Structure 1
Amino acid sequence: MFVSPPGYQPIYSPVKHTYLGPIYGGLREGMSIYIQGTIPKHITRFFINLICGEYESSDIALHFNPRFDGWDKVVFNTCQNGSWGLEEKIHRMPFRKGEHFEMVIIVNFQGYQIKVNGIDFHTFQHRIPMEQVRGLQIADISHFVFKPVPYSNIIPGGMFPKRTIIIRGMVPYGAHKCVILRLLAKSLVQEGIVVRNSMIGGNWGQEEREMTFKSFPLSLRCQSVVETRGLRCL
């Protein structure tokens, strides 16, 4: 039977395919994060993030992203203010599909030392101070949900400040409009712009067209209190 030492806070059997939780007290030199599990046979990618907040949109101090894509590799990176840094690619794969693994992230002065099944894999040097890390995020990217359009659904709990919705997808060839949202309106692909608007009582407001449409994923973050309760994509 496993008995955790004082101050050790294990998480057993988190929600399948995704996990987002706090690191109480943050990180400091000499700490280690221990992760064990089994790699699904159907997986294409997964990631482990050390994040600087409590939300998916928080800065990422460590992005650990194994990719099983025929040129198996592990990508390391950081993300600050929504912008990704320079990738570090290690063209070795320490995991095997269908097999159990044990991984340790050791926090030291130099960076994050990664060990898989007891073997040193790579040390990712600090780009963001370790003291800013407040949470851990793990997700199986192959299990992100893709819905056919048109799509409409409620937003459980509604929108509130700092809540973020991330939309991933592909714009079909020849499309004129790719997205219509309850709170954002539509993206005009051929014109390469995003039209932002709102509708109250069946009447559209004044359009905003300052943004330039590039590609997915699209991140929507609430900055103030709103009454939005649903999402619609067309």
Structure 2
Amino acid sequence: MTDFPFDTIGFDLDGTLVDTAPDLCGAVNHALVQVGRAPVTPEVTRQMIGGGTRAMLTRAFERTGGMVGDGEFTTAYDTLLAYYEQNTSQHSAPYPGLLAALDQLAASGSKLAVVTNKMERFARKLLDELGMSARFACILGGDTLGPGRAKPARDMIDEALRQCGGTRFAMVGDASFDVRAARAAGVPCVVYALGYHDMPVAELGADAVIEHFDELVPSLEVLARSR
């Protein structure tokens, strides 16, 4: 039994655990160039991440001239996935202070879970290549549970609790998908202010906002006392 107020902590991946935008930008641009579109910058890519790869590519097309037909989109999507599978972690890295915060939570007895809309095979590959997979009791991707069950649905939070054997969950993320899933599950959500946001941080409705992972454990302790 953990002494920490939350026995299970779920983490989003892109923009929360790991700054993946440089590698995602490379994959998006590879797909865009193949169909004659202009590339986007890493900063623009950060604004497009969230909701899974299809959503990211859709936003990329909208940013560079408008949506394409289904056939062209499928070709570009497959091109993006193939490129990303070969270039998953070349320039991606965990955020400052993240690993120390994970160590602190693990030492408290809390189990850690990855709850991401990224496809599970890419989430596992990324975490394996960064040497982070062993830190997590479960890794759930947007396709793990099937259609309609990714964030902002609560299903992955429920499944993370089931796999971790916990009863007291907190979510850590960076976007509305994380906050809405937490709300649906009736659990608190901490937002990382330097992540990838689909709306202004102040409008996300998070229970707490941190600017460095040194703040995570104290913020969770404060949230536990207020609930």
TM-score (norm 1): 0.26
Larger Rg: 1
Q: Which one has the bigger helix percentage?
A: 2
Structure having the higher strand fraction is 1
**TM, length-normalised to structure 2:** 0.27
Query: Higher relative contact order at CA 8 Å, sep ≥6: structure 1 or structure 2?
Result: 2
